[in-house]
């Protein structure tokens, strides 16, 4: 019996030495150590042995079993390790691979300029108010001292929807709208940015839709010097501390007197260059003292309060500031144009 066990060991170890796969190893484990295997069979036959022989054969049988198990365990460990290695390799992430870029948007250059202007006026205690783009003839014209048949209406060719309703041609209708809302209370102090519409043919400096920022201040004792001081502070924050302003007489139906406001050229500092057409000055604003009729029509007493108003075009300011030569760039939404401002 001892010889059978030794032979079994030699045979098993021989076969195990030649094992070539996990599956073969599994088969050999069952073959030699399984319940129906030769070792079990031999151990079962031990009952027939004498009392002296039994422990000796038992020991040999255990040794053989242990030897076979040891080799199987060793091989199993190698297979497990190889398999783990394979899986890890398959799951390896190459952290040096460049990622897929996720495109990030940016604020439109026009909105950026509007936000900058808003910030300056917020800092001076103005609120920001928005109004409707579809407007009545009353707020867009009449309440601004532009009765029907007034020749100044021709300055702003309009998109009419009905006889009384149009796309607003300016943000100025926010003046009477806010005055009505505040019902004669002072101070009135707000700016109002928004889109406006005019029946213009689009070209490098005209767009049928563009933006404006309106401003209005009404209180007791507001004077032209308040207008000048406010606008000077504004342009210095927007264009730099050395900027100067110049007021030129002008005409708007809703202001009296009316002025056109120039800033000293921020490119050449007033020396004269291409940007300011060698004048040293650039026009950026319309403004004036609110016409007494306009105050009156919206419930304010021109004997008791006074005010100033101003209006500007963010496109023009953005074009000057960023050197943009065509207003249509702001509306064509060509990403090659827009991306140039992403970092500003």
Binding residues for Mg(2+) are: 256
Which of the ranges 7-15, 25-33, 303-311, 335-343 carries the binding residues for ligand DAH, by CB under 6 A? 303-311
Judged by CB, which is closer to ligand DAH: 257, or 272?
Answer: 257
Among 109, 176, 311, 314, which residue sits at the site for ligand DAH (rule: CB under 6 A)? Answer: 311
Among 145, 192, 230, 255, which residue sits at the site for ligand DAH (rule: CB under 6 A)? Answer: 255
Residue 214 binds to ligand DAH (criterion: CB under 6 A):
yes
Q: How far apart are CA 54 and CA 251, in angstroms?
A: 127
Judged by CB, which is closer to ligand DAH: 42, or 285?
Answer: 285
Judged by CB, which is closer to ligand DAH: 46, or 186?
Answer: 186
Residue 288 binds to ligand DAH (criterion: CB under 6 A):
yes
Beta bridge partners of residue 309, listed in sequence order: 216, 288
Residue 287 binds to ligand DAH (criterion: CB under 6 A):
yes
Site for ligand DAH in 92-151 (CB under 6 A): none
Cα 240 from chain centroid (whole Å): 27
Q: How far apart are CA 320 and CA 104, in angstroms?
A: 27
Closest C-alpha among 173, 177, 176 to residue 158: 173
Residue 252 binds to ligand DAH (criterion: CB under 6 A):
yes
Binding residues are: 256
C-alpha dist (Å) from residue 56 to 7, 50, 62, 190, 207: 16, 10, 10, 108, 109
The vertex-335 CA angle with 333 and 336, nearest 5°, equals 120
Among 190, 266, 281, 310, which residue sits at the site for ligand DAH (rule: CB under 6 A)? Answer: 310
Which of the ranges 29-37, 43-51, 123-131, 308-316 carries the binding residues for ligand DAH, by CB under 6 A? 308-316
Closest C-alpha among 167, 152, 158 to residue 255: 152
Tell me which DSSP letter residue 46 carries: G
Pairing of strands 165-167, 134-136: antiparallel
Which tokens belong to 337?
Answer: 């144009």
Residue 176 binds to ligand DAH (criterion: CB under 6 A):
no
Write out the residues near ligand DAH by the rule CB under 6 A.
Answer: 170, 172, 214, 252, 255, 286-288, 309-311
């Amino acid at each position: 019996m001892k010889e059978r066990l030794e032979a079994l060991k030699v045979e098993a170890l021989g076969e195990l030495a030649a094992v070539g796969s996990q599956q073969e190893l599994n088969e050999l484990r069952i073959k030699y150590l399984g319940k129906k295997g030769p070792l079990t069979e031999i151990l079962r036959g031990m009952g027939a042995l004498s009392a002296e022989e039994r422990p000796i054969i038992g020991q040999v049988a255990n040794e053989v079993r242990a030897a076979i198990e040891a080799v199987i365990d060793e091989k199993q460990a190698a297979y497990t390790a190889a398999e783990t290695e394979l899986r890890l390799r398959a799951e390896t992430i190459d952290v040096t691979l460049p990622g897929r870029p996720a495109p990030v948007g940016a604020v439109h250059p026009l909105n950026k300029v509007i936000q900058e202007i808003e910030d300056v006026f917020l800092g001076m205690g103005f609120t920001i108010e928005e109004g409707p783009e579809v407007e009545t003839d009353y707020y867009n014209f009449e309440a601004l001292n532009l009765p029907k048949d007034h020749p100044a209406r021709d300055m702003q060719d309009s998109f009419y929807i009905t006889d009384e309703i149009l796309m607003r041609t300016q943000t100025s209708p926010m003046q009477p709208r806010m005055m009505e809302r505040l019902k004669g209370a002072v101070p009135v102090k707000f700016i109002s940015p928004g889109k406006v519409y005019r029946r213009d043919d689009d070209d490098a400096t005209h767009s049928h839709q563009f933006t404006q920022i309106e401003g209005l201040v009404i209180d007791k004792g507001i004077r032209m010097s308040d207008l000048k001081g406010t606008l000077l502070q504004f342009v210095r924050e927007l264009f730099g501390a050395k900027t100067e302003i110049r007021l030129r007489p002008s005409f708007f139906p809703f202001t009296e007197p009316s002025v056109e406001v120039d800033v000293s050229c921020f490119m050449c500092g007033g020396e004269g260059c291409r940007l300011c057409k060698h004048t040293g000055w650039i026009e950026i604003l319309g403004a004036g003292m609110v016409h007494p009729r306009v105050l009156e029509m919206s419930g304010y007493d021109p004997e008791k309060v006074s005010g100033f108003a101003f209006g500007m075009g963010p496109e023009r300011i953005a074009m000057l500031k960023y050197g943009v030569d065509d207003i249509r760039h702001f509306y064509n939404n060509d990403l090659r144009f827009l991306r140039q401002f992403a970092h500003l």
